[in-house]
Amino acid sequence: MPIEFSARTRVQNIETFKTEPLDVLVIGGGIVGAGLIRDLARNGGIKAGLIEQGDFASGTSSATSQLVHGGFRYLLKRDIDLVKNSRKEREILRRIAPNLVKPMPIAVLSYKGDPYPLTGIQLAAHYYNRLFKADEAEKTVVIRDGQKVKRLVGPITADTLKGCVLLWDSTVDDARLTLATLQDAHRHGAIIANYVRFLDFVKQSDTGAGNRVSGIIAEDVISGQRFEITARKIVAATGPWSDKVWSKDPSYDGVPRLVTKNAKGIHLVLPRCGKEDDSEAYGLIVCTRSEKQRKRNPRVIFILPGAHNTSIVGTTETTPQEELASVRPSVDEVSYLLSETQRIFPEKTLNKNTIIAAYAGTRPLIAAKRHDRGLTRAGFVSREHLITESPSGVMYLYGGKLTTHRQMAEETVNWLAKFLDVPRDCKTATHPLPNAVGEAPDANMERLAKRYGDGYKIIQKFIAEDVTLGEPVTPSLPFTKAEILYACWGEMVMTLEDLLWRRTRIGWTPGQGVDIAPQIAQFLGEKNNWSDTRITAEVETYRQRIEWLNFNL
C-alpha cells in the first residue's frame, strides 16, 4: 500500500535533517539523484537522505525527449559500450516500470541527399539488435516503398523518400519516472525533501581533518530557514549544476568539469503530426537540412507521439546564453524545429500559433579533457558518466543520461557501501517501482493504474469517501479531483506549477492549464489550508512562468 509522501512528510524530513546525522546525503532530485537514493534505501544498512533545490525533476530530468532508448545513434560515433549499456538498462527499466516505460516503434527515415544511406542504416540496425538479443516483436524491418512508409507513419512527404528502417525504443514521462523512483526510496526509509537548497559545505571541526567536509548548510526555500545537515559522505548528483556545487568545495581548483557547448536542448509540443491513434503511432528520426545552408554537418531530430494527441519535436544542440535556471527556447531554435517538422509534414499547418508548449533543458556534458579518463573522441562529447571524489571527500556524479541512471547509481553505491563498511546488495534491477502493478480491477481504474501504479488504490479510496472527487477537473482532460488530491498526499506537490507542469503535464495541453489554474488552485488551497493570498499568488506565478517560457513563441 502507498505511504504518504506529502508536504507534511517534507516538514518531518526537514526536522530529521536538522537533528539526525546521515550516512549519505544526496544533493539533487533529478533522475540520477533519484536513482542513487533508491539504491541506497533498497540496499539496507545505510541512512540516506536527498534534497532538491526546486521540485523533483524540475531541471533537465523533465526536459528530455521522453525516451528510454538503446542508443542507436551512438553507433554512428562508434560508442559501442554506451550502446550496450543503454540496451541493457532499457530492458531493466521496462521490466521494473512497465506502466511508465512503454515500447514504441520508431521509423528512421531516409531521403535522397541524406548523409546516411538506407542500406547503411539497415546494417547498423541489424548490428544494434545483435548487441542485445532483441525479441521477435522488436526485430528490425526495412521498408523501401515510400508510399507504404507514408501509410504506416502518417502524412509525411514521400518525395525523394528512399524508405525507412523500423526500430524499437521506449517512451516515458521522465518527470513521473523520477517521481516513482523517489517514492520507492521513500517507502524504504530514505529521507527526502524538495525545495531545500544547498548553500555551502561545512568542514570537519577536527583540526587534523584538513579540508574534509562533514556536512552542508541548507535552506528551506519555502520558509527561508537555514540549517545544517551532517553526513559521513555527500554526493552531488546535480547534473548541469554540478560545477556550481564544485565551486563551493574546499578543494575547488578553479577548473570546471562540464562544458556548455552544444549542451542546451529544446523541444516543441505540437498537435499530433503522425497518426492520431496511439496504438498505431510511430516515432520518427529524420536528418535535418537547415545545416547545409551553413555548411555544417546535418543533425537528426525526433518527432515522437506524445500524450493527449500531441507530438514532441526535438532536440537542438546549442550553447546556452542564459543562466541554468533560465534556459528557454530561443526564436532561432523554435524556427529551426518548426521548419524541419513542416518539411517532413507538408500537409500540416505548422507555425508559432500551432505550438502547444515548448521547453528547454541543459545537458551535463563532461569536459573530458580536464580529466584523466579518455571520454571523448574527435568531434563529440561522450554521454558516459564520471564518478569522482574530491580531496575534501565530496563525491560528484558527472554526465550520464536518463536511460543509464540506474547503472550510474549502482556503481556509486558499490563504492559507498565499501566506504561505509556495510554489506552490498543491489536490488534496483530486479525489484519493481511502485508503478509496476498488475491488471487494474476494472476498466475505470486502468488509466489510473497505468499512471499512478499502486497509488490508484488511494485515489479509489478518496472517491469512495467522497464521490465528488471523481469529477474531472475540466471536461477536456481526464484528470479527476481525486488525482489532484493524491498529488498532494502521495507526490509531495508544493506549488501549482509542480502539479500542472510535472505531475499531470496539463501544462503540455492546449491552453497549458492557464485557463483552469484558478479553479485547481482553489481546490488545492481548500485541501492544503492555503490562504486566499497564497491561492492568488500561485495562479499568478504559474501564469507568469508560462508567459516567460513562451516569450519567443
Let me know: does 244 contact 260? Beta carbons within 8 Å.
no
CATH superfamily, domain at 7-61+175-256+367-420: FAD/NAD(P)-binding domain (3.50.50.60)
Nearest to 317 by CA among 362, 382, 348, 272: 362
DSSP state for residue 21 in the 8-state scheme: -
Beta strands of 101-203 (E only): which ranges? 102-111, 141-143, 161-171, 191-193, 196-203
Residue 270 and residue 289: Cα distance in Å, rounded?
20
Q: Residue 172 forms beta bridges with which residues? A: none
Residues 6+ positions from 547 with CB-CB distance below 8 Å: none
| Number of neighbours of residue 319 by Cβ within 10 angstroms | 11
Let me know: does 42 contact 428? Beta carbons within 8 Å.
yes
CATH superfamily, domain at 96-171+260-365: D-Amino Acid Oxidase, subunit A, domain 2 (3.30.9.10)
Instruction: List the chain pLDDT tens, one digit each, 553 residues.
Output: 789 999 999 999 999 999 999 999 999 999 999 999 999 999 999 999 999 999 999 999 999 999 998 777 777 667 777 788 888 899 999 999 999 999 999 999 999 988 888 888 888 888 887 776 666 677 788 999 999 999 999 999 998 999 999 988 999 999 999 999 999 999 999 999 999 999 999 998 765 666 899 999 999 999 999 999 999 999 999 999 999 999 999 999 898 889 888 899 999 999 999 887 777 789 999 998 876 665 667 788 999 999 889 999 998 988 888 888 889 999 999 999 999 999 999 999 999 999 999 999 999 988 865 544 333 333 334 457 889 999 999 999 998 889 999 999 999 999 999 999 999 999 999 999 987 776 666 666 788 888 998 999 999 999 999 999 999 988 888 899 999 999 999 999 999 999 999 999 999 999 999 999 999 999 999 988 999 999 999 999 999 999 999 998 8
CATH topology of domain 443-549: Helicase, Ruva Protein; domain 3 (1.10.8)
pLDDT at 264: 93
Q: Which residues of 255-290 are buried (b: 16+ CB within 10 A; e: fewer)?
A: eebbbbeebbbbbbbbbbbbbeeeeebbbbbbbbeb
Task: Considering only CA atoms, give the Rg of the chain.
Answer: 23
pTM higher than 0.85 for the full model?
yes
Span between the terminal Cα atoms of the chain, in Å: 44
Residue 267 and residue 105: Cα distance in Å, rounded?
20
DSSP state for residue 386 in the 8-state scheme: E
Helix then strand then coil, in percent of the chain rounded to 5, is 40, 20, 40
What does the domain layout of the chain look like in residue ranges?
7-61+175-256+367-420, 96-171+260-365, 443-549
pLDDT at 471: 93
Cell numbers of 142, please? 526495412
Cell numbers of 283, please? 516515432
Q: Taking the mean position of all CA atoms in its chain, how far away is CA 297?
A: 28
Residues 6+ positions from 274 with CB-CB distance below 8 Å: 153, 154, 155, 156, 281, 282, 284, 303, 305, 311, 345
Residues 6+ positions from 42 with CB-CB distance below 8 Å: 184, 185, 188, 426, 427, 428, 431
The β-bridge relationship of strands 264-271 and 310-314 is antiparallel
Q: Is the dihedral of CA 119, 121, 124, 130 positive or negative?
A: negative
